[in-house]
Amino acid sequence: MKVSLEWLRDWCDWEGTPTQVADLFTRGGTEVISMRSTGSQVPGVITAKILEKKPHPNADRLTVCQVDDGTGPRQVVCGARNHNAGDIVPLARPGTAFPGGMTIKSAKLRGESSEGMLCSAKELGIAEEAEGLLLLPKETPLGVPLEKLFPGETVLEFEVTPNRADLACMEGVAREFAALGAKPKDRRPIQAPAAGPLSGWKVEIADPLDCPRYSLTAIEVKAGIDSPDWMKKRLSACGMRSLGLLVDVTNYVLLEIGQPVHAFDAAKVQGNTIQIRRAKAGEKITGLDGGSHELTP
């Protein structure tokens, strides 16, 4: 279980350094097996806007971008695929030093000059995994250091034993922390909107011993709404990628209170029926990551 100390402060207050917090948990019986810092790990990277994107004339997998960091346009050759003109992205200018010894230099890549590098969240140390460039909100000012947008925080990783499933969420960790001396905060319950019976939908449970209860509700969400940055940062700190608003919200609920939740696209549910059953022999599903997974009966 990965726990962001910044997120944990939503639940309780304490004094002491992250190392002291880790030692306190370990002495209390909940072993901390690792501690790391998140946030931008590369000083000197700033925000820039992609003014123009065109294919590289000599390389199918590269693009040539004109970008502006607030001081004027510059050309950067990029190998990512997820960016377009108008996007705000991190720019490492010549002279920027990355962990591991790499320093960005002005260069020619397959005959095209490149004055810097556009960066992914993984390259900046913001996320453990990333696909493509880190795309920032459209309203982000130009020339802002990434360490201001992604300040460092500490993430503790706990060894959660089978008898302590309550520690697999922020609420459970906060309760344990309070028992060890932290001061719990007054978190008032969230008032959920009233919901009546859901007509036109069925839930079929093959074996009540496998699943005694399944709750279902319906919500409407406008298409194209992105998850807020603070939620993306917290999910990333705990080892999860942002996959869109609805998936991010369900993952956030899981991490915060330990309640598994899944959102279905109503238009893709056959017969408006949710079936709960064991897998069949050789049955496979396609996950949200696009990968195929074989199920065990």
What CATH number is attached to the domain comprising 135?
2.40.50.140
Question: 175 and 244 in one domain?
Answer: no
DSSP calls for the chain: -EEEHHHHTTTEE--S-HHHHHHHHHHTT--EEEEEE-S--STT-EEEEEEEEEEETTEEEEEEEEEESSS-EEEEEE--SS--TT-EEEEE-TTPBPTTS-B---EEETTEEE-SEE--TTTTTS-S--SS--PBPTTPPTT-BHHHHS---EEEEE---GGGGGGSSHHHHHHHHHHTT-EE---PPP-PPP----TT-EEEES-TTT-S----------TTPPPPHHHHHHHHHTT-----HHHHHHHHHHHHH--------GGGSGGGEEEE-PPPTT-EEE-TTS-EEE---
pLDDT of residue 106: 94
Domain shared by 60 and 115, yes or no: yes
Phi, psi of 47 (to 5 degrees): -80, 145
Question: What CATH number is given to the structural domain containing 244?
Answer: 3.50.40.10
Domain contains 121 = yes
Would you write out the chain's pLDDT as a tens digit for each of its 297 residues? 999 999 999 999 999 999 999 999 999 999 999 998 877 778 889 999 999 999 999 998 999 999 999 999 999 999 999 999 999 999 999 999 988 788 999 999 999 999 999 999 888 888 777 789 999 989 999 999 998 888 878 999 999 999 999 999 999 999 999 999 999 998 777 777 777 778 899 999 999 999 999 988 888 888 888 898 889 889 988 988 888 899 999 999 999 999 999 998 899 899 999 999 999 999 999 887 788 999 988
Q: Which residues pair with 202 in a beta bridge?
A: 273
Other residues' Cβ atoms within 10 Å of the Cβ of residue 268: 6
Whether 169 is in a domain gets the answer yes
Number of separate domains in the chain: 3
Shared domain for 163 and 33, answered yes or no, is yes
C-alpha distances out from residue 135 to 50, 119, 132, 191, Å? 11, 9, 9, 33
| 223 inside domain | yes
Task: Give the integer Cα–Cα distance in Å for 201 and 211.
Answer: 18
93 and 233 belong to one structural domain: no
Angle between helical axes of 18-27 and 170-179 (0-180°, round to 10) = 80
Show Cβ contacts of residue 214 under 8 Å, excluding neighbours closer than 6 positions.
203, 205, 274, 276
Domain co-membership, 61 together with 30: no
Containing domain of residue 236, as a range? Answer: 202-294
| Residue 165 included in any domain | yes
My answer on whether 34 and 62 are in the same domain is no
With 0-12 CB in 10 A as exposed, 13-18 as middle and 19+ as buried, what is 54? exposed
CA dist list (Å): 141 to 70, 82, 84, 145, 230: 9, 20, 17, 10, 17
Contact 219, 226 (CB under 8 A): no
Domain assignment of residue 132, yes or no: yes
